[in-house]
Structure 1
Amino acid sequence: MARRCTLTGTAVQTGNNVSHANNKTRRRFLPNLQNRRLFSEALGVNVSLRIAANALRTIEKQGGIDGYLTAAKEHELPGDLVRLKRRIAAVRSEGQAAEA
Structure 2
Amino acid sequence: MKLEITDAASKWFHDEMGLSDGNGVRFYGKVYGKTPVHDGFSLAITRDDNPEEVYTETDKDGIKYFVDAGDEWFFKGYDLGVDFDPKKDPENVTYSYTPNGEL
Structure of greater Rg? 1
Q: TM-score, normalised by structure 1?
A: 0.23
Q: TM-score, normalised by structure 2?
A: 0.22
